A and B are shown apart, each in its own frame.
Chain A
Amino acid sequence: ETGVTQTPRHLVMGMTNKKSLKCEQHLGHNAMYWYKQSAKKPLELMFVYSLEERVENNSVPSRFSPECPNSSHLFLHLHTLQPEDSALYLCASSQVGAADTQYFGPGTRLTVL
């Protein structure tokens, strides 16, 4: 049990669809992250929220829109995606000041047709 859950685990969507990925952490952490994992590429940090405020946005296209309503929940809203956005999207959480050790959810496997 990692304490970080993600839904859905798998998602297939067309380029004109709108969908959302959900992440919930049960660890009492105060920072949450979205990562993109593509085949044969290093993990790419997309967004970081600390104390519910966005502190990092690594030049991610606007078709990805994050939302962090409270310290336990994180969403990634998707619209008009491209096939190259197909990847595993991982959510993580950490406690600021505690070695930044990040704990990951199982990921959402996204396929864009």
Chain B
Amino acid sequence: GEDVEQSLFLSVREGDSSVINCTYTDSSSTYLYWYKQEPGAGLQLLTYIFSNMDMKQDQRLTVLLNKKDKHLSLRIADTQTGDSAIYFCAAGRGNYQLIWGAGTKLIIKP
């Protein structure tokens, strides 16, 4: 079946940039999403990108999409302690089914 893969952990220093990577297998994916989950909370939509785009920027967040390599990344500039969370990548075709990655836990070092 289709798959989305992410590294399980990423550790960065406060103030540095964080780059969380994701690869997916479904070439028919129309939308690619990034969600954030803080401890004890549900998933919060951070941003999404259409497959016909290669970059989207929203304040400290930059999403890059390489459709040829089926690679998606989320860059968080000036990482803060409040960015500590698990970040999920998901791919969708617009038919209710999202294929989810296992999540990347972002650890911030002081």
Quick check: A56 and B96 within 8 Å, CB to CB? yes
Given A42-B102, A45-B98, A56-B97, decide whether A100 and B92 contact each other with a Cβ distance below 8 A. Answer: yes
Give every chain B residue within 8 A of A100 (Cβ-Cβ): 31, 92, 94-96, 98
Quick check: B42 and A102 within 8 Å, CB to CB? no
Quick check: B43 and A45 within 8 Å, CB to CB? no
Quick check: B33 and A45 within 8 Å, CB to CB? no
Q: How many residues of A contact B (CB 8 A)?
A: 28
A11 is an interface residue with CB less than 8 A from chain B: no
A2 is an interface residue with CB less than 8 A from chain B: yes
Q: In chain A, what residue has the closest Cβ to B50?
A: A99
Binding site for B on A (CB under 8 A): 2, 4, 6, 31, 33, 40-43, 45, 48, 50, 55-56, 90, 92, 94, 97, 99-107, 109
Listed by A's residue number, 5 A-B pairs whose Cβ atoms lie within 8 Å are A2-B42, A4-B42, A42-B100, A56-B97, A100-B95
